[in-house]
Chains A and B, each alone.
Chain A
């Protein structure tokens, strides 16, 4: 006896196609912006920090990074992975935007920027509140423990922001406050010792610039998603 299951309906395929095309266009575009901003503002700090990883004593004499040969393969990989990660963000963000649109919140470029800022708070700001973006050469707790905390914080913050935006009573807004605070009251995993090779001046600049770039790129991502969604581009 053979059992034939019904394939996804044409309407489902069409909707998924529209989401996928929009997310790929906006995610790739935002990823390129991210790669450019990181190359200009963040990568020099990362390369500087790596000198301290190799030899802290020599590196202390160097205020700026000596310009080595341009590493084409390394920078190409950075572009590829920036595009890939922001495409992943684009799928998640657009999924939430479409879900909300079905419940009466239209998607537009202006709304897209707000969605982008909410994505930034969820995926960047909230995790960074406990685990500051760390450059090479910094000491950290076990990576698996930090990743578990990262996922937990992203999930709690995402649900909390949804409740703040779409909740209809104080019970929902109260739950949002608890969810926002819980990961930080529990606390992120910290290393046993705080010794580090790289100087704090570099680490502070690195964390601040990483967050600044992320806010700029998430806003761009939301704007692009809001613009592409109702354009002919999204129809594939």
Chain B
């Protein structure tokens, strides 16, 4: 027999829904900056080379 348990979250207030959204947005933004500005994989480095220098990231 398959039993399904649905976890019911309490009604979320405006602020708590904002906290999740803000955290998700912050993490997404840092992820984009890391991939575009810092990851040293050769193809990515070569493609982003000029912008990494002109934006002041440690490039190579």
Contacts and interface: CB of A to CB of B under 8 A. Distances in A.
B25 A23 contact: yes
A85 B53 contact: no
B29 A90 contact: yes
Nearest to A14: B17
A177 interface: no
Contacts of A124: 56
Nearest to A91: B29
Interface in B12-60: 12, 14-15, 17-26, 28-33, 36-38, 40, 47-48, 50-60
B2 A2 contact: yes
A102 to B, nearest CB: 5
Given A16-B25, A92-B30, A211 B51 contact: no
A106 to B, nearest CB: 14
B20 to A, nearest CB: 5
B41 to A, nearest CB: 13
Given A4-B6, A150-B57, A78 B40 contact: no
Interface residues of A, number: 58
Nearest to B1: A1
Interface stretch (A38-46, A57-65, A159-167, A179-187): A38-46
Interface residues of B, number: 44
Contact of A150 (B14, B18, B28, B58): B58
A140 B58 contact: yes
Given A1-B3, A84-B32, A102 B54 contact: no
Nearest to A38: B54
Interface of B: 2-9, 12, 14-15, 17-26, 28-33, 36-38, 40, 47-48, 50-60
Given A5-B7, A91-B28, 9 more contacts: A4-B4, A15-B17, A19-B25, A23-B25, A85-B51, A90-B29, A92-B29, A134-B58, A210-B55
27 contacts: A2-B3, A5-B7, A6-B8, A11-B12, A11-B14, A12-B21, A15-B17, A15-B21, A23-B25, A46-B50, A46-B54, A77-B51, A81-B36, A81-B47, A82-B51, A84-B32, A85-B33, A87-B32, A88-B37, A95-B26, A98-B21, A99-B18, A102-B14, A140-B58, A143-B40, A150-B38, A214-B55
State the 9 A-B residue pairs at the shortest beta-carbon distance, nearest first.
A91-B29, A88-B32, A92-B29, A146-B58, A133-B56, A11-B17, A81-B51, A95-B26, A88-B33
